[in-house]
Amino acid sequence: MATDPADWRNFSPGDLSFGFPTHSTGDVEAAVSRSCRAFGGWAALSFDERRGYLVACRERLAARSEDLARLISAETGKPLREARLEMGAVVAKFDLTFADGEKYLLDEEVGGGPHPARIRQRARGPAAVIAPFNFPIHLGHGAAVSYLLAGNPVLFKPSPMAVNVGAAYAAEMRAILPDGVFEFVPGWGETGRRLALHPEVRAVCFTGSIPVGTALARDMAEDYSKSLALELGGKNSAIIWGDADLAGAASAVADGMCLTAGQRCNATSRALVHVDVFEDFVSLLQSSLGRFIPGDPMLESTMLGPVISAPAVERYRSLVGCSVGEWILPGSVPTDRNGHFVTPAVVVVADSEGLDMSDLAVRETFAPILVIERIANLDEAVARHEAWKFGLTASIFSENRAIFDSLGDRLRVGNLYANLPTTFSPSTLPFGGWGRSGNGHPGGRGFARFVADEQAVQWRA
């Protein structure tokens, strides 16, 4: 892996004339050392004492919510309306985690055995949280709060493309928590790898690409006592059945492919549409996509902001250049804006075999691009969905509960929705992927199940 740059500076993808302060790669050894020194004292606190610190963090982040939302929008290009929703989820995550902690992290008395016994959860030690740019606070924050509540110090490495957001979030957490309990470790790929593989780091939560996640799992295999949670993205399908509310389905698919400029792990990247309603659905989808016009992400009216970087634009160009069918919306890169803007693109597939060998099938899209295929029956819908080895989310649009159950029981996904966008993933539910999408450790509700070591204790009466 290439050496991280010593220093770097980000520019707003929505306005490349706006530059952020320069940041430097963090010192992994020093951060881990501080985290290790803090571990004993933090783990020794009671559950209620740690929760008290986190309540204060919640109040501090709530007070800064608007400022942080604007920073998210400026540095990542996420539309302001979405950034505000992200900060709402960040604040709400505390109380959801407290409830999970009471369910999964408190001691449990066990009767019925030969001796009195108790099951208790023991903090592991420093935990590395490697966060993505698309939800630069929320996704890493959910894991961090669970680790902290269980007694584990956190080493937080934000995406380098959202390092200023990460720094601002870390500053709020560090202002409340004891020294060393929350360490901010900026950097690129090698920094994340060094954090994850450090022998004193006992848990890792990584949200990002399949190649990096696969490499981490392989490199960490020898240290099998270390916990690894992977959320590696998706190629998420919307299945449109013949009895669906087509207008509602078209709106949901448009939202799913275009929110955050398609840069969501649960974005809708394909639609499998029943032949009987194919033409009508496509027409309604094209109309619904008219809402998504590239614009300044800092404006409340904007629904489609830029993608994150120049390489992301080039990936978009490559994907819309795939010859797999008719591009009914060919997509474009506007030249009248000083940013990384792209437009929605839709291809109707003629050759499924060629599609399955293309980058549109094997790479996470992370852009507002949709592949549409025709299906004639349930077996074909399942076969086409399962041909792509991802398993994060899927949506089924039908007014018939039996159709939903028949399809849903056969789809290998961690998150399944009826008549909702594939992006509808509330924090009140678990969120984890199967297959190439991850190792099933949810990034949403219930992550507290994976943040401590279970210890069985018994004694002679």
Q: Which two tokens stand for residue 186?
A: 């900026």
Residue pair 121/454 in contact (Cβ under 8 Å)? The answer is yes
Scored b (16 or more CB within 10 A) or e, 218-230 reads eebeeeeebbbbb
Q: What is the 3-state secondary structure of 391-438?
A: ECEEEEECCCHHHHHHHHCCCCCCEEEECCCCCCCCCCCCCCCEECCE
Known catalytic residue at 231: yes
Beta strand 434-435 pairing with 127-130? unpaired
| Catalytic residue from among 265, 322, 364, 373 | 265
The answer to whether residue 322 is catalytic is: no
- Strand 345-349, strand 236-240: pairing: unpaired
Cβ of 175: how many Cβ atoms within 10 Å? 11
- For 407-416, the CB contacts below 8 A with 24+ separation are 407/239, 407/378, 407/381, 407/382, 410/382, 411/382, 411/385, 411/386, 412/386, 413/236, 414/438, 414/440, 414/442, 415/266
Catalytic residue among 86, 172, 231, 373: 231
Catalytic residues: 231, 265
